[in-house]
Chain A
Amino acid sequence: IAGITQAPTSQILAAGRRMTLRCTQDMRHNAMYWYRQDLGLGLRLIHYSNTAGTTGKGEVPDGYSVSRANTDDFPLTLASAVPSQTSVYFCASSSDTGELFFGEGSRLTVL
């Protein structure tokens, strides 16, 4: 089934640890995004990529990094996790019309 695949689905990690959230799409969309969703704050854009080889900062980029080596993959890395990064992370890609297709989310808890 075509779409966005995120991994892991859920993860608990200790503060200070490095963590990479994986995201893969098979729709050949050029643009991809990482959002975090926190209660009362909605979806906030962390980083985005309009095409392979390029990335940009969103609303809340600090503490996160991304890479876009090819069209399909867009991993999000937390170099040194902190408790405030506890959240649900959604990866998305967009079609030519701008419609976003989301993965199922990755629930991250930093202790």
Chain B
Amino acid sequence: GQNIDQPTEMTATEGAIVQINCTYQTSGFNGLFWYQQHAGEAPTFLSYNVLDGLEEKGRFSSFLSRSKGYSYLLLKELQMKDSASYLCAVDSLAGGFKTIFGAGTRLFVKA
């Protein structure tokens, strides 16, 4: 089976740094994605990791450790518009190529 865990909610202050963790158990691992979803909108792509290490893209970075089944999304210089849900998703080749999502982490950015 597959299992993806991430915190339900987090709160951070504007201008600060926040790290959202994700742990996963899956067979046929083929990569890990992070998506951002604002309330009432569709998810949008943030990052993709398939090899161990850190991927940096502007204010957002994503880290992966395949041996530990662990990833995190790092958001720097938080802005109010970063208030959203952040979804960790795992690509799996088990039983057919598909993407499975965690329940998501709701981030509240306060002034």
Residues of A participating in the B interface, judged by any CB pair closer than 8 Å: 31, 33, 35, 40-45, 48, 50, 56, 58-59, 90, 94, 97-105
Helix, strand, loop or mixed for chain A's interface?
strand
B71 vs chain A, min Cβ distance (A): 15
Contacts of A100 in B (CB 8 A): 33, 35, 43, 45, 89, 99
Which residue of A has the minimal Cβ distance to B96?
A: A56
Q: Look across to chain A and name the residue whose beta carbon is closest to the beta carbon of B2.
A: A59
A-B Cβ contacts below 8 A, count: 58
Provided the pairs A56-B98, A100-B45, A103-B42 are in contact, do residues A41 and B103 lie with their beta carbons within 8 angstroms? yes
Q: Name the contact of B101 in the complex, choosing from A43, A48, A101 (C-beta under 8 A).
A: A43
Binary CB contact string for chain B from 1 to 27 against chain A (1 if under 8 A, 0 otherwise): 000000010000000000000000000
Cα–Cα, bound, A68→B40 (Å): 28
Nearest CB in chain B: distance from A22 CB, A: 16
B97 to chain A, nearest CB (A): 6
Provide the residues of chain A in CB contact with B101, threshold 8 Å: 35, 42-45
Please tell me which one of the listed residues B45, B91, B98, B102 contacts residue A58 in the complex, with CB atoms under 8 A apart. Answer: B98
Please tell me which one of the listed residues B48, B98, B100 contacts residue A97 in the complex, with CB atoms under 8 A apart.
Answer: B48
Chain B residues with CB under 8 A of A40 = 8, 103
